[in-house]
Structure 1
């Protein structure tokens, strides 16, 4: 068994026992390692000490319960091993910058520390070969765009650290922007019926530590709309990483981070680097949700 496979077994065990006490000795036993070596290897591969990782995953699941289950905050706290309402609130605010009560009564979305799929760091596939892992399917292709496409929407500056989706915890400014966009989308003229929505990410005039993010939808080529932002997807060759998940929530949370992780490694392996922007192409689907990462690339030495 490879080292990453041993740690993945412990990661999977944690995910299945988040409402229980999880002793280090049990996790080390699951990974067939000594407690000392297990903790060192876990921190190296997961990028978090095991106890901190467990806390972050408990809080992530607790946050989901706060929005989806009609239970008291104290019951949620106790269910995930917190001794009191106060200790849960303190930990929640420390991680997300917002209290559980504020979160439950708002439409805020959170960036979570995602359960890692370590296989994405060690297994490589060729173009046009799907990779299946933990309920998601990823596939990298090259796509030639012969005619530019135009997207109109709204843009804002977001912290660059939010691009570290899956490894940073905070309020999601990108999700908030999408909520605002969907409120005004019906007012945008010249929308293509059943067209794609598109998230464009670029530096633009953003201040240090931030980047520009535009949430938009496709319009007829050559049109514009006063008062909105416009992004042109140029005619060019793109590296496209398509991936699907069982639900839109899964797609835009853990799946998008896992796809990003694999895409970055795939491009590095093929001596490619992204150029001036990256895009997220959303598809209207029934059943499984589907999304594509689009990047223009250059060859590196």
Structure 2
């Protein structure tokens, strides 16, 4: 059973790592953030993330470095030094071990790779917990009508999943990192509920994917597939920012509002069979965001 004080301490260490990723990070500094002894911090961190602090730091540094190599025209040695690697050789060896490709080759070809995308430990363990004196769950719902052009979707299907949790059990937790590494992505990765017309026999309703241009000619990661998404209109819904400690409650409150929303307010009708219903990664600072397809009535 999770100790919520320990989960909060691990999250403080995660936050510190994020803030100082391009500097030397010591176990003593992490212990100061957590409020426990260095030995106890290392033990807690391993228990809650399945990685030692320095394994976690290395994987995160390499993933951030990969994005710099993908998006900026910098020398490999400069990126290595920026992310606290002592040498070109050491960086290349670690990068190849994590991603199966050298930094130089990755920079030239930018194939999809499994970026390390950790989630705050405390938020995970606080789902469904009762909390006092937190930000109230917003009842505001912001709605916009958006036109999307024809595009393609790179996705990984599950087997029977109807929800994110079921999908994570079926497909694992590395899917998001691979999607986030695709350079040609039009937007950030999404969770989605597929209409029957876009499902294959024996596959899940819920999946994860990323939208790319209609003329995309890049690499499709192993096990993934690419499908057409026709031009469509969608109502995009966004709740107010919420306290991460009320993650589950806040999201369910917004989804309930969306379910009760009358699209006639925008002279529309639902078009569930025309395109997937999509959700962006829930992040408290921006509120829960979901989009559903519609057509003019």
Q: Which residue of 2 aligns with 1:204?
A: 199
Match of 2:29, SS state, is: helix
Q: Which residue of 1 aligns with 2:97?
A: 94
Q: Which residue of 1 aligns with 2:21?
A: 18
Report the Cα distance in structure 2 between the residues aligned to 1:62 and 1:155, rounded to whole angstroms.
Answer: 26
Quick check: 1:201–1:214 contact (8 Å CA) kept in 2? no
Summarize the Cα distance change of 1:216–1:79 in structure 2 as closer, same or farther, 3 Å threshold. Answer: closer
Q: How does 1:282-301 map to 2 (within 5 A)?
A: 292-294=289-291
Quick check: 1:199–1:279 contact (8 Å CA) kept in 2? yes
Match of 2:93, SS state, is: helix
1:64 is matched with which residue: 38, 43, 67? 67
Q: Which residue of 1 aligns with 2:179?
A: 172
Quick check: 2:7–2:48 contact (8 Å CA) kept in 1? yes
Q: Which residue of 2 aligns with 1:250?
A: none
Q: Which residue of 2 aligns with 1:154?
A: 152
Summarize the Cα distance change of 1:3–1:289 in structure 2 as closer, same or farther, 3 Å threshold. Answer: closer
Q: Residues 78-120 of structure 1: CA distance to partner in whole angstroms, max 9, x if unpaired?
A: 3433343233223223323332112322455655323544553
Pairwise CA distance, 1:230: 4.2
Pairwise CA distance, 1:205: 0.8
Match of 1:98, SS state, is: coil
Report the Cα distance in structure 2 between the residues aligned to 1:38 and 1:127, rounded to whole angstroms.
Answer: 33
TM-score, normalization: structure 1?
0.52
Pairwise CA distance, 1:204: 1.2
Which protein has the bigger strand share?
Answer: 1
Report the Cα distance in structure 1 between the residues aligned to 2:251 and 2:286, rounded to whole angstroms.
Answer: 24
Instruction: Point out where structure 1 has 5 or more consecutive residues left out of the alignment.
Output: 130-139, 183-197, 218-226, 245-257, 282-287, 296-301
1:33 is matched with which residue: 33, 36, 57? 36
TM-score, normalization: structure 2?
0.53
Match of 1:43, SS state, is: helix
Question: Number of matched residues?
Answer: 233
Report the Cα distance in structure 1 between the residues aligned to 2:202 and 2:180, rounded to whole angstroms.
Answer: 16
Quick check: 2:45–2:52 contact (8 Å CA) kept in 1? yes
Pairwise CA distance, 1:55: 0.7
Quick check: 2:251–2:288 contact (8 Å CA) kept in 1? no
Report the Cα distance in structure 2 between the residues aligned to 1:177 and 1:199, rounded to whole angstroms.
Answer: 18
Matched, 1:128 2:138: yes
Summarize the Cα distance change of 1:34–1:242 in structure 2 as closer, same or farther, 3 Å threshold. Answer: same
Quick check: 2:238–2:287 contact (8 Å CA) kept in 1? no
Q: Which residue of 1 aligns with 2:12?
A: 9
Quick check: 2:113–2:181 contact (8 Å CA) kept in 1? no
Quick check: 1:199–1:215 contact (8 Å CA) kept in 2? no
